[in-house]
Amino acid sequence: MSNATSQEVSMPVADPNDPYKAPALMPSSADKEPRSFSPDAFAVPTRKIDDWRYTPVERISEFFDVFTPSNATEISASYIDGSAVSESSGVSFRSIEKTQAPAGTVLKPSDRASAVQWASTDRTYALEITKDQSIPVLVNITGAGLALDALHLVIVAGENVHADIVLEHSGQARLAEGVELSTGKHSEVSLTSIQEWTNDSKHVGSHRLHVGEGAHLRHSVVTLSGDVVRLRMDQDFGGPEGDLNMLGIYFVDPGQHIEHRTMVVHNYPECKSRVVYKGALDGKDAHSTWVGNALIQPSAPNTDSYELNRNLVLTPGAIADSEPNLEIENGNIVGAGHASSVGRFDDEELFYLQSRGIPEIEARKLVVRGFFGELVDQIGIAEISKHLMGVIDRRLARGESDEMKHVLEEN
Amino acid sequence: MQHTLEIKDLHAAVETKEGRKEILKGVNLTVHSGETHAIMGPNGSGKSTLAYTLAGHPKYEVESGQALLDGQDLLKMTADERAKAGLFLAMQYPVEVPGVSMTNFLRTAKTEVEGKAPAIRSWVKDLQGSMKKLRMDPKFAQRSVNEGFSGGEKKRAEVLQLELLKPKFAILDETDSGLDVDALRVVSEGVNRAKEDNDFGILMVTHYTRILRYIKPDIVHVFADGRFIKTGGPELADELEETGYDQYLPEGSDSESALA
Ligand SMILES: Nc1ncnc2c1ncn2[C@@H]1O[C@H](COP(=O)(O)OP(=O)(O)OP(=O)(O)O)[C@@H](O)[C@H]1O
Ligand SMILES: [Mg+2]
């Protein structure tokens, strides 16, 4: 920390009301880890390894050694309104060989689980978008039970292309998944990955993202359920003036572990990144982890980077880990900052709303909707925003069930 | 329509680190529609506790007694049910609710209290009209509930809610504290307007006679050590301002003002 002043970094002024806002220059060491397609390049994860210290590794140990996939997970693509995609409309979705480009071209696996996923995968799919799309393209990924499976998807959006892509994960699954996304020069692309698994599902995934020169990418992650979900996002820029906006929303129920790791790398000048993740945790032993790394390399002057994580603990007994790391290797930047907080749902807020005639359950909905609202709007796809708010409302309504009451009484 | 709020021998306590502490020690009071009762008393005597207990704050445990609104016991209801029954509390320290906009909050509250959503056009008109009369910037409607409001702005927002929600009884807990001279007038006018429209009963907790020039009390009570100990006409307020509360406090009392 002491070397912070010796670097010429323009930092946001510390806000006394939000002590977490002050940026920290912490060694993230994210860039010093190996990058490899070979599982053996990485040690088997334990809690002692920094990258895995928040993860209940014992609950996902099956993802740490190469396995034979069930190949039962279903995958299909269409437009979000159900109509078919076609090459003539500029969308191609097909099965390819893992050895065939563009598979394996966007960065390399950054941890053992993603190298194992790559090594285990039999089925690889490519989604290529070559023309502007006015309707979001939907890729449905449906689990087919708890037999371990692996799947790889590579998405390529061409130069200047405007397109929205949604990955919707649902059903019961135990899935190792790799997603690669490469966006072309001056493209404007959004990728939204929704995880809405059954409560006994496990999902370990790696998103590897390459943002084209002058391109804008909005990458959104919405994780609503699953026993253990761990997603790691690695990214780099392909040229100057790239703009990356990463959004995350998660809702964690009792006993669940939901983890997101965003690893942003500024490797070109004049690029901008924003990472905003927000989560609500409900009930005993609900556990969320967000780790956000931003690495600003010497090759990236005039970088503008900011990351934020907010957690709302709705009932006692939940744990939210939140760890922002900034690694700044370039003194000539526009800004770099982070904020992180864990807030409790406040009894006084609840009473205030109730004293105006609003029943407890509605009061909770108001507060949680307010907490997520702006972020949900930013996802920018009406169907998804609506769906999301509906899911969140149902979740909160379920808080009224006997099971939840029991959990609440325990605390 | 004539309504009655009756508080009968109300005892309430709060759980503290040092154990259970009884704060309300037998409160008796009857208020009818259209009446304005001023409640004055030393710091720490339990005035806010009375207000919170009536409104249903979970921290305060009722040990015995009743609070009947037209015969229905409020104390058996949840806080939101009490509001629906017609009770309103303007809080001494209004709570900030980040992320929930004033408009959304007010519309939700109005819908709950009335049992149906207000007609959109008249609602917007009422809201804008009330805000204007309370000299509130229309931008406040878009802000989060009480978040970052100044002390005086919070009090105006309480009175705004009073005007919009039209209760049968309103408890105003130091709504006059922290207001500048002009704001005091604006806020008082707001209360009087709301009262003219709805003829509700008012329980007004205050430390100052200043507000009583604007909102004229019919009855003034002295509240000390957890109960009402004296009741009189408006002249009692002036007398209190002259002489203070010392005469009403027991020997060796630990109330703040007795210590001062
Ligand atoms: N939640 C609580 N925990 C502990 N003590 C409390 C709590 N609420 C109230 N008290 C105590 O009860 C007593 C009455 O408090 P209350 O706020 O009702 O007084 P008040 O008459 O409104 O005072 P003021 O004029 O200063 O607003 C005080 O001694 C206060 O410290
Ligand atoms: Mg008080």
pLDDT tens per residue, chain A (411 residues)?
Answer: 333 333 333 333 334 444 334 343 444 455 567 899 999 999 999 999 999 999 999 999 999 999 999 999 999 999 999 999 999 999 999 999 999 999 999 999 999 999 999 999 999 999 999 999 999 999 999 999 999 999 999 999 999 999 999 999 999 999 999 999 999 999 999 999 999 999 999 999 999 999 999 999 999 999 999 999 999 999 999 999 999 999 999 999 999 999 999 999 999 999 999 999 999 998 899 999 999 999 999 999 999 999 999 999 988 889 999 999 988 888 888 888 888 888 887 889 999 999 999 999 899 889 888 889 889 888 888 888 888 888 888 877 765 444 444 433 333
Where residue B255 falls among pLDDT bands split at 50, 70, 90?
very low
Which residues of B are less than 8 Å from A355 in CB distance? 55-57, 79-80, 82-83, 89, 91
Look over chain B and give the mean of its residue pLDDT values, rounded to a whole number: 93
* Closest to A194 measured CA to CA, from A248, A154, A268: A248
Cβ B97–A349 below 8 Å, yes or no? yes
Cβ count within 10 A of residue A48:
9
Starting from the CA of residue B22, give the closest ligand: 1
Cβ B104–A355 below 8 Å, yes or no? no
Cβ A357–B91 below 8 Å, yes or no? no
Is residue A83 less than 8 Å (CB to CB) from chain B?
no
* Closest to A211 measured CA to CA, from A187, A174, A191, A183: A183
* ipTM summary value: 0.94
Residue A27, pLDDT score: 42
Residue range A109-120, pLDDT digits in tens: 999 999 999 999
Residue range B10-61, pLDDT digits in tens: 999 999 999 999 999 999 999 999 999 999 999 999 999 999 999 999 999 9
Query: Which residue is closest to A346 within chain B, CA to CA?
Result: B97
The vertex-B50 CA angle with B45 and B52, nearest 5°, equals 120
Q: Which residues lie below 8 Å from residue A227, measured CB to CB, with a gap of 6+?
A: A59, A197, A199, A200, A201, A202, A255, A256, A257
B109-114: long-range pairs with CB below 8 Å, 24+: B109/A353, B109/A356, B109/A357, B109/A358, B109/B83, B109/B161, B109/B164, B109/B165, B110/B164, B110/B165, B112/A356, B112/A357, B112/A358, B112/A359, B112/A362, B112/B80, B112/B83, B112/B84, B113/A356, B113/A357, B113/B83, B113/B84, B113/B165, B113/B166
Where residue B253 falls among pLDDT bands split at 50, 70, 90?
low
Cβ A359–B80 below 8 Å, yes or no? yes
CB A222 within 8 A of CB A195: yes
Which residues of B are less than 8 Å from A348 in CB distance? 95
CB B171 within 8 A of CB B221: no
Instruction: Name residue A127's beta-bridge partners.
Output: A93, A155
CA atoms within 13 A on the CB side of B253: 20
- Whether the link from the prior residue into A102 is cis, omega within 30° of 0, is yes
Token readout for B39 is: 């409640």
Instruction: Name residue B205's beta-bridge partners.
Output: B39, B173
Is residue A358 less than 8 Å (CB to CB) from chain B?
yes
Domain B4-92+168-259 has CATH 3.40.50.2300: no
Cβ-in-10-Å burial (0-12, 13-18, 19+) of A297 comes to middle
Residue A16, pLDDT score: 42
Cβ count within 10 A of residue B149:
19
Q: In Å, how far is B88's CA from the nearest CA of chain A? A: 7
Task: Measure the CA–CA gap between B115 and B113, rounded to whole angstroms.
Answer: 6
CB A205 within 8 A of CB A178: yes
Among A27-31, A387-391, B160-164, B254-258, the range of highest mean pLDDT: B160-164
